[in-house]
Structure 1
Amino acid sequence: MAAIRIMTVDDHPLLREGIAAVIDGQPDLELVGEAASGEEAIERYRQWRPDLTLMDLQMPGIGGIAAIEAIRREWPEARILVLTTYRGDVQALRALRAGAQGYLLKSELRKEMLATIHQMMEGKRRVPPELASEIDERASADELTPRETQVLTRVAMGEANREAAVALGIAEETVKAHMKHILAKLQANDRTHAVAIALRRGILDL
């Protein structure tokens, strides 16, 4: 039986080395290559065509989600497992919508990675149960619009409503209306609370 060919994508060399060490100890797994950015991931995928790709989300340049979209657009059959420190349900949902079939926290890597790889090679999806329930509960009810995300980003940068309005080219009253919707959607007490929730859930990526 041929070994499962794996590519890792992460901008931290130590993490890639750790994954390589685990894979090297498995007779049914083979590490065919590594990449350190989204751009490199797309190029290396084209070169190696791995059976499964382990993809980080937070990288300089093209991030993991954009790389997943690009790879899946060209190779719809690509199997991609997201590895991240991010617990945010919004980030997970974006990755799954982009085409990833699995989502694994880096803190669970040593314990769960091998089982997850084999599950995905059997055609199963893998999302941590607690994250899956959050996605189901929140995915449609409180998703911010692109404009609301822009407004909240300006707020997170410390801008007042007037400054955000000027930066976005909209009226100050419009910014206030967006903030009202944002607070309601995120069930936040105030602007600071809204920013904290958005950062935790991965709605904002600052």
Structure 2
Amino acid sequence: MSESASIVVDLVHESPVVRHGLAAMIRTSSQLVVGREAASAAEFLSGLSDRDPVVILASPPAGAEVLRRQRTEPAPALILVAAAFAAMSARSGLADGALGLLELSAEVDELICAVRSVARGQRYVMPKVASQLAQACDTEELTPRENTLLLHLCEGHSNKEIAQRMGITLGTAKAYVKAILAKLSAKSRTEAVVIATRTGVLQKAVSASERAGG
């Protein structure tokens, strides 16, 4: 893509307020053009025709679905846009294949910079989010006991079953689950397993278990 060519930006977000706000920001640049707008990944993907999207701005849920269902080479130049990113949700988005991470607090100039970067195939992570990712490398590792419990979660065991298998009280098992959800920025046990799988946390737990002899 030449530097002078207009970049078409498609918008996929559940909130019409967010979509309209992003569209207004995009229109401030003479080099960006608002393309299609959709409220969901299904709506967006059903409307794809002869024009492939150049850059997609999407909410994390919609973006993950677009990336999962649109397996093309190269992958779509997609930027996840959210009110805020926790470290684990940011890692999950990048693991899914997103090229950019941008919070809604971003200024117009930063949004334009992000769009231009991913249109060239370059990754763009908002500095604030990049800083959180760097800090999380040292502060959000699971403990050995949490790793063991994560493996039980992946096997679908209930809190009661986990307590019995680990030789701990039900209250302690619940506390461990709560700690894991917090560290993975997950809202449910199922989401915790998905995020752990996508970000490599589960593989670390498996490796730790193997080193400990199962």
Q: TM-score per shorter chain, which class?
A: 0.5 to 0.7
TM-score, normalised relative to structure 1: 0.68
The residue aligned with 1:44 is 47
> Secondary structure in 2 aligned to 1:22?
helix
The residue aligned with 1:197 is 182
Letter in 2 for 1:197: A
Q: CA deviation at 1:115?
A: 1.6
Letter in 2 for 1:122: R
TM-score, normalised relative to structure 2: 0.65
Letter in 1 for 2:76: A
> Superposition pairs for residues 19-168 of structure 1, below 5 Å?
19-45=22-48, 48-58=51-61, 63-71=62-70, 73-136=71-134, 137=137, 141-142=141-142, 148=150, 151=153, 164-165=159-160
Letter in 1 for 2:64: I
Residues 90, 139 of structure 1: 8 Å contact kept: no
TM-aligned CA distance change 1:42 to 1:7, over 3 Å:
same
Letter in 1 for 2:56: T
Residues 151, 175 of structure 1: 8 Å contact kept: no
Residues 164, 175 of structure 1: 8 Å contact kept: no
How far, CA to CA, are the matches of 2:127 and 2:80 in structure 1?
15
TM-aligned CA distance change 1:76 to 1:191, over 3 Å:
same
Residues 75, 97 of structure 2: 8 Å contact kept: no
Superposed CA deviations along residues 165-187 of structure 1, whole A, max 9, x for unmatched, are: 3xxxx45323766x99999xxxx
Superposed CA deviations along residues 65-124 of structure 1, whole A, max 9, x for unmatched, are: 2322222x1343420111012321111111111111110011215452112112222332
- The Cα RMSD (Å) is 3.9
How far, CA to CA, are the matches of 1:37 and 1:149 in structure 2?
33
> Secondary structure in 2 aligned to 1:14?
helix
> Secondary structure in 1 aligned to 2:101?
strand
> Secondary structure in 2 aligned to 1:25?
coil
Superposed CA deviations along residues 114-166 of structure 1, whole A, max 9, x for unmatched, are: 12112222332111334334434159943977x739859x9xxxxxx9x733x
The residue aligned with 1:172 is 163
**Identity of matched residues, %:** 20
Superposed CA deviations along residues 8-46 of structure 1, whole A, max 9, x for unmatched, are: 010100111111122223221111101111222333345
> Superposition pairs for residues 177-188 of structure 1, below 5 Å?
none
The residue aligned with 1:18 is 21
Residues 35, 44 of structure 1: 8 Å contact kept: no
> Secondary structure in 1 aligned to 2:186?
coil
> Secondary structure in 2 aligned to 1:74?
coil
How far, CA to CA, are the matches of 1:112 and 1:68 in structure 2?
23
> Secondary structure in 1 aligned to 2:106?
helix
Unaligned runs of 5+ in 2: 192-214
